[in-house]
Amino acid sequence: MTRALLVIDLQESFRQRPSWQAVSNPDIVQKTTRLVTAAREREDLVIWILHTAPGAGTPFDPATGYVRLLDGLETREGEPVLSKTSRNAFTTTNLQQILTAHGVRELVICGIQTEQCCETTARLAGDYGYDVTFVTDATATFPIPHRDAPADRDYAEVLADPRTLQVEEIITRTEYALAGRFATIASVDDLVGA
């Protein structure tokens, strides 16, 4: 096998935050399932990655019980499940060693959040020399409050603020930043058919 599918941070933690109401891709589990099924049929390696913040008391703290895959996603025996504490999937895991041991040179990336953990992983993977495919419609993100907005606002105020960066803008920016530099942009249908 020379290709691996990285499923990044598709975890219950995100559903516990107010921002989940504005998620860009409510069908992410179904789209990811299509990618996982196709990867398994091709005998590509599927690697599951979960973001953790031990001791933080947030939904990303393993003690809360929310650091688990979203309902509808299931690992299979032999598929690595890695826990990370950094934005990218390499720095605080043994991901690169696993990829090297399996002879992987191509990565397909999906998950949450489009512009954070997914994009950061794609950029680092590109720098490491991997051939990266970024499956935008199998990623998800949330509106981003303006940097000067008060941190204590409720989420309705965040959504109503005209300075909030909307998900369409985030996704477009990520595609522009990655395409032709760090990754090839693809859709689920591009990879598995309509």
Q: What is the pLDDT of residue 151?
A: 86
Task: Provide the pLDDT for residue 193.
Answer: 79
**Whether pLDDT at 127 is above 90:** yes
- For residues 17 and 142, give the distance between their C-alpha atoms in angstroms, rounded to a whole number: 11
SS3 89: coil
Q: What is the pLDDT of residues 93-106, one digit of tens each?
A: 999 999 999 999 99
β-strand pairing of 45-51 with 3-8: parallel
Average pLDDT over residues 37-61: 97
Give dist(CA 79, CA 67) in Å, integer. Answer: 17
Q: What was the pLDDT predicted at 194? A: 64
DSSP 8-state code for residue 145: -
pTM: 0.96
User: Is 88 in contact with 120 (CB distance < 8 Å)?
Assistant: yes
Confidence check: pLDDT of 61 > 70: yes
Go through the domains of the chain in sequence order and give each one's CATH number.
3-192 (3.40.50.850)
In whole numbers, what is the pLDDT of the chain averaged over residues?
96
Which pLDDT tens digit goes with each residue over 134-172? 999 999 999 999 999 998 899 999 999 999 999 999 999
